[in-house]
Amino acid sequence: MTELGTISGAALNQYLVSARAAGIDPSPGLSQADIPTALADDPEARISGERFETLLAWLIAESRDPLFGLHTSQFVQPGSYSVMGYIAMSASTIFEALSKVALYEKLVGDMGITETVMRDHLVEVRWICRHQRQPVRRHLIENVLGSWVLYTRWLADNPALNPELVLLEHAPPENRKALEDYRRVFGCEVRFNQPFSALISHPDVLQHRLRQPDPQLHSTLEAHAARKLQSLGIETTLTQKVRNRILASLGERLPRKEQVAEDLGLNVRTLHRRLQDENTSWQDILDNLRQELARTYLKDTTMAQTEIAERLGYSDIRSFQRGFKRHHGSTPGEYRDTNKTL
């Protein structure tokens, strides 16, 4: 059997809530999948992908609902995405929230990966499902895309926020009346038998402001997510591992590259070489992370520049101001005056 990784208890819970709402007791399915009830009820738990697949196949069969996955999307909530859901909640725009998905989606589970592609002046947010077993794969895809749309509407406080088009790789349902349910969830045209599954939108949608931006909470949650990725051992690239270790230390003393290399079981020379293989460097990662957070603090908070400089690990405010101007062509004060939202 293909190794399917793990899924968080938080993500699993959405399916259990949906089943119970439909009058299904999931206990026999949990037993068949060898998932203890206590584990299923723990949002921090990690459940094997194989066990999750067995449970989901049982729930689909028991529901007798050909759109069980799609209908389950209505039960999405911030906790369904583990800490990533709260990172998205505290983001300033849809773009900022979306940019974190690739970094932290493994905290939710290994069900698939997200890719964002610009094509023909449109944004394609694709989801590549890791599970091959049918009908599990079909229901997973419909749940993930449906949940994204419903959660984004809630984040943006805009129930009329719809994609332009939805692409699904599988065939349409046999019951043509079921197509009305796709329209109800997605609010747009849905095309079946496509090369991949994706939400298609105009780029302007990415700049839509979200309802509860909180940059300080956002960076705190990112630091927590970075530590969680480390503890679970599910980081992907070396770049991400280094980024997460820097991020986890922001607001404290930044780790030296020698310390990070040692934590990763590498010497400094090997760290440099392997980062170079990924077309980056220690300094690039540090600078990019600092500038990303600096832009957010200047734009979306009233935090003083001295506090920003200290939080980002600069030796003094002048170093922060020089570094910011070198990257952006304007001083932090000029950037704030032009871009502030508060």
> Domain holding 127: CATH number?
3.90.1520
pLDDT the model gives residue 1 = 36
> Domain holding 329: CATH number?
1.10.10.60
The 10s digit of each residue's pLDDT in 36-88 is: 999 988 999 999 999 999 999 999 999 999 999 999 999 999 889 889 999 99
Average pLDDT of span 167-195: 93
The model carries a pTM of 0.75
Average pLDDT of span 168-191: 93
Q: How confident is the model at residue 341 (pLDDT cuts 50, 70, 90)?
A: low
Q: Do 165 and 44 share a structural domain?
A: yes
Q: Do 104 and 179 share a structural domain?
A: yes
Residue after which a domain boundary falls, among 187, 207, 227? 207
Question: How many domains would you assign to the chain?
Answer: 2
Which helix (H) or strand (E) segment holds residue 191: the answer is strand 189-191
12-15 long-range contacts, CB within 8 A, separation 24+: 12/40, 12/47, 12/52, 12/55, 13/40, 13/41, 13/43, 13/79, 13/80, 14/72, 14/75, 14/76, 14/77, 14/80, 14/143, 14/147, 15/55, 15/56, 15/59, 15/72, 15/143
Q: How confident is the model at residue 153 (pLDDT cuts 50, 70, 90)?
A: very high
Q: Do 110 and 13 share a structural domain?
A: yes
pLDDT the model gives residue 121 = 87
Q: Do 220 and 201 share a structural domain?
A: no
Q: Do 103 and 43 share a structural domain?
A: yes
Q: Do 103 and 13 share a structural domain?
A: yes
More confident residue, 310 or 154: 154
Closest by Cα among 206, 214, 207 to 342: 214
Q: Is residue 1 part of a domain?
A: no
The 10s digit of each residue's pLDDT in 228-276 is: 887 887 656 788 788 877 876 666 667 888 988 887 888 999 999 999 9
What single-letter amino acid sits at 95? F
Identify the burial level of 79 via C-beta atoms within 10 angstroms of its C-beta, where 0-12 means exposed, 13-18 middle and 19 or more buried: middle
Q: Do 224 and 191 share a structural domain?
A: no
- Least confident among 192-201, 255-264, 295-304: 295-304
Average pLDDT, the chain: 89
Q: Do 139 and 64 share a structural domain?
A: yes
Taking the C-alpha atoms of residue 168 and residue 9, their distance in angstroms, rounded to an integer, is: 26
Which helix (H) or strand (E) segment holds residue 201: the answer is strand 198-201
The boundaries of the domain holding residue 316 are 215-339
Q: Is residue 314 part of a domain?
A: yes
Contact 88, 155 (CB under 8 A): yes
Q: Do 150 and 92 share a structural domain?
A: yes
